[in-house]
Amino acid sequence: MEALSNSLAAADIATTMHPYTNLRQHEKTGPVVISRGDGIRVYDEHGKEYIEGLAGLWSVAVGFSEKRLADAAYQQMLKLPYYHTFSSKAHEPSIRLAEKLVEMTPENLTRVFFTSSGSEANDTIVKMMWFMNNALGRPKKKKFLARTKGYHGITVASGSLTGLPINHRDFDLPAIPVRHLTCPHFYRFGAEGEDEAAFTARLLAELESVIAEEGADTIAAFIGEPLIAAGGVLPPPAGYWEGVEKICRANDIVLIADEVICGFGRLGTPFGCQKYGFTPDIMTLSKQITSSYMPLAAVVFSEAIYQAIADNTATIGNFGHGFTASGHPVATAVGLENLAIIEERDLIGNAARLEASFQAGIRSFSDHPLVGEARGTGLIGAVELVADKATKRPFAKAGRAGAIANVIGHEEGLIFRSIGDQLALCPPMIATEDDVKEIMTRMARTLERLT
């Protein structure tokens, strides 16, 4: 601590409680202070260079030095730095971005509600479903179906939908009625002797039996990420989403695609639901919507849902929900410019074109003695470290190998995300073939040093 006095690190340790951080560990090791960005790279306060292999938090599509976004924010700040959207007030950037989202997303999604974070967006969806079902005279239809290892945020309602123990333990969650179904990850959750098709069939049978047990008249919605990302980059088995969609339709259960990470091209298609061939009634969008240059999220939803909610406001008055920053003009102006860049530079096409080399790179780590599974799709992937490759046995001290890999990765100039013992990569969508090679080289060096 003495040597650190007057440093940014010392000030950080003295004052800041970091999210998603072991705080006692942090007091000993201090922060990595990132001070600037350039393309797919960031630099720490000592000038050390890192490839940001996770695009920040799965979110910086256009890289870390896009001047057009800085200009869009500056120009909007000069013109109208803030206005709200309560009580019928509106401003051009949020109107234009809502129009753009309706144009980009599947045809059945026609309405947009803005929030600042993915968690707020999913909380908003919970409240919309409750409000809508009260309006429709179905006061029992309030439960949610989600999946183990799914991630939907950390607020009280969205954190309840999340299916990860770390987000529930000692927080007294779940706090809303939710059932978490089996995680659709064949490598970990497939049963002995079961093939992928039988695994899919088992998951769909489970969904049907939970609906029968609870009663379809008590279940409002099913929420899932097209590909579970923060839970470990877990692509679903073939046929899973078509089956889920069919069962939801048959039981009048709203289908929510949480596209906070998959949206805007991460999987090589505009939205993740298109990769897996299903059409949600609601989508949650955030992160790559502004490349995270400004906090922004959106709930995009169907006309039927909008009409049911709107009818109720005619009876009871306002839709009593909204945030000071809902549709913030600077955030939505940046979002519009960011989506323009994604289109002009065909970054979704770029992700699709890079898929072959990126996924080949990830899968090349399968031979490593500690890698149990190397997986992914589009421009997102992960390697799962295990104690015993043959039996898939995890390490006795979960997360330790991942944490060590993380430290080595930093030394090798590569930032990825350790999720327990799973190492996730999700680089900015401006990456090139050469960047993919360099990412894989640094990952290979990291894994070599781990043995």
Least gap, CB of 364 to ligand PLP (angstroms): 26
Residue 273, Cβ neighbours under 10 Å: how many?
24
Q: Which is nearer to ligand PLP, 429 or 440 (CB)?
A: 429
**Contact by Cβ (8 Å): 124, 288:** no
Closest to 118 (Cα-Cα) out of 313, 275, 280, 262: 262
Closest to 283 (Cα-Cα) out of 144, 152, 155: 152
Site residue total, ligand PLP (CB under 6 A): 14
Q: What are the two backbone dihedrals, phi and then psi, of residue 283, each rounded to the nearest 5 degrees?
A: -125, 140
Least gap, CB of 144 to ligand PLP (angstroms): 14
Footprint on residues 175-234 left by ligand PLP (CB under 6 A): 225, 229-230
Distance from C-alpha of 316 to C-alpha of 422, rounded to nearest angstrom: 49
Q: Which is nearer to ligand PLP, 151 or 278 (CB)?
A: 151
Among 260, 273, 419, 429, binds ligand PLP (CB under 6 A): 260
Q: In the numeric block, which tokens belong to residue 384? A: 């799962």
Among 76, 94, 105, 119, binds ligand PLP (CB under 6 A): 119
Distance from C-alpha of 127 to C-alpha of 302, rounded to nearest angstrom: 16
Q: Is 293 in the site for ligand PLP (CB under 6 A)?
A: no
**Contact by Cβ (8 Å): 278, 245:** yes
Question: Which span (80-88, 216-224, 256-264, 394-402) binds ligand PLP, by CB under 6 A?
Answer: 256-264
Distance from C-alpha of 19 to C-alpha of 13, rounded to nearest angstrom: 13
Q: Is 335 in the site for ligand PLP (CB under 6 A)?
A: no
Local structure of 206: helix, strand or coil? helix
Least gap, CB of 224 to ligand PLP (angstroms): 9
Question: Which span (61-69, 148-156, 275-283, 432-440) binds ligand PLP, by CB under 6 A?
Answer: 148-156
Question: Beta-strand (E) ranges in 152-307?
Answer: 178-181, 219-224, 254-258, 282-285, 297-302
Least gap, CB of 154 to ligand PLP (angstroms): 6
Among 50, 131, 144, 151, binds ligand PLP (CB under 6 A): 151
Q: In the numeric block, which tokens belong to residue 121? A: 């967006």
Distance from C-alpha of 418 to C-alpha of 22, rounded to nearest angstrom: 13
Question: Which span (37-45, 112-120, 126-134, 341-349) binds ligand PLP, by CB under 6 A?
Answer: 112-120
Least gap, CB of 171 to ligand PLP (angstroms): 15
Binding track, positions 67-106, relative to ligand PLP; x by CB under 6 A: ----------------------------------------
Amino acid (one-letter) located at 179:
R
- Which positions lie near ligand PLP, rule CB under 6 A? 117-119, 122, 151-153, 225, 229-230, 258, 260-261, 286
